[in-house]
A and B are shown apart, each in its own frame.
Chain A
Amino acid sequence: MIQTFFNPEIIVASWPIVRAGLLNTVLLSLLVVPLGLIGGLILALLASVKKPVVRWPLMVWVDFFRAFPPLVLLILLFAGLPFAGLELGGFICVGIAFFLNTGAYYGEILRAGIDSVPAGQIEAARSTGLSRLQAMTYVVLPQAVRNVLPDLLSNTLEVVKLTALGSVVAVPELLYQARQAQSLTYSPTPIVVAAIVYFLMLWPVVRLLSRLENRALARR
């Protein structure tokens, strides 16, 4: 059993490949998390314009991406766009797909955060002479982010986990590299190693989250 799933020689031999994947997963996450946050911020700011003309299309936009599997979106960009003469490469496709998909999720969270700040705060800020933008940046957003911090963190965890989709479009992240090593060594050990790496990397976040979530629920 250990020889198959946790073979020391194979671990040593495949580690450089897996390690390169880990590095790319970290880099990819550092790219797609801010990208999704920017997308979400744009959506949330648009949603703070309380006009039906803006709100309804936004809701449809967000629900569209909540309904659409991210992998389908990724394949559509990666395998569909070349037929329109647009060949973007796996990496850029992942970037666009995450901007759209995770942006919608971050947008919902940030919108809830902005809604949780009492309107009186904006009115007070505006009456001191701050512009709408200033009131938003200095008064509303800091409180909004604080109010939904557990949700933001939870979504960020999901985004990092989602980077494993990159393996489908040949982005050499952790899972892709592990599968390469698996086919080189004919052993499942590299995939087990990759799973352990994911677990060690993300487990602290999961622990923190379940404490935050329990506390938030207990407070109701």
Chain B
Amino acid sequence: MSSWSRFAETFLNAKVMHRYLPDILSGVVVTIELALLVVVTGIAAGLTLALLRSLGLRPLNWLIVGVVDLFRSLPPLVVIVLIYFGLPSAGLAPSGFASTWLSLAFVLMAFSEEIFWAGITAVDRGQWEAARSTGLTFGQTLTSVVLPQAFRLAIPPLTNRTIAITKGTALGTVVAVTEILGQASSAMSNSYNPSPLMMGAAAYLVLFFPVVVAARYIETRFAWKR
């Protein structure tokens, strides 16, 4: 046997791949569900915190900054392990899926709050004053004048961060979530063959590569022209 066919026989074994394809596909579904949940809730929570922070209430802002700093400092895997293995001792037993979702959503919340807040503060004070002096309320100024500019500033760093955190769904495998990596790993140990892992790797690329390419486009499209 040539070395290529030996390699293919081991790493791209058609029989094994055929057998475990349904498992990997079900993993893909779980990964997509988890990723969408994380992105939607994480960014929504981050935006909410940034808006609350713009109200300028001192004690509330300290709290927000504290929470944000906490989730920017902790590795996501540590947060996942803490929630999954820690909370049962407090009488709550979140599933691996819920633990991973919550953890990554908290982390994305922290990063997106920082990004949105930076965008809001980057809008010149004079614009606030001008808008208010034309008779717009605080809320109107925020939604019609400040946020459109803040979003534009926020989009490039936010896409980057979102991709990096969404890839973290693979961490769910540590707490027995049946996403792509989890399915691939158990298929690998069942078949004693690495082909499922190769399929899993390919699945991640199929899912995330287009997102990364789109992000590159968005970055140049929304880059602030000086």
Contacts and interface: CB of A to CB of B under 8 A. Distances in A.
Q: Do A and B bind each other?
A: yes
A135 B158 CA distance: 35
Q: Is the interface of B mostly helix, strand, loop or mixed?
A: helix
A83 B78 CA distance: 30
A31 interface: no
Interface of B: 7, 10-11, 69-70, 72-79, 81-82, 85-86, 89-90, 114, 118-119, 121-122, 153, 163-164, 167-171, 173-174, 180-181, 185, 188, 193-194, 197-198, 200-201, 204-205, 208-209, 211-213, 216, 224, 226
Interface in A86-136: none
A51 B130 CA distance: 49
B141 to A, nearest CB: 19
Interface stretch (A12-20, A35-43, A137-145, A199-207): A199-207
A1 B92 CA distance: 13
Interface residues on A, range: 35 or more
B86 A66 contact: no
A64 B185 CA distance: 21
Contacts of A191: 78, 81-82, 85-86
B205 A68 contact: yes
A217 B212 contact: no
Contacts of B121: 214, 217-218
Contacts of A69: 167-170, 181, 204, 208
A175 B163 CA distance: 24
5 contacts: A5-B90, A64-B209, A67-B205, A79-B188, A157-B72
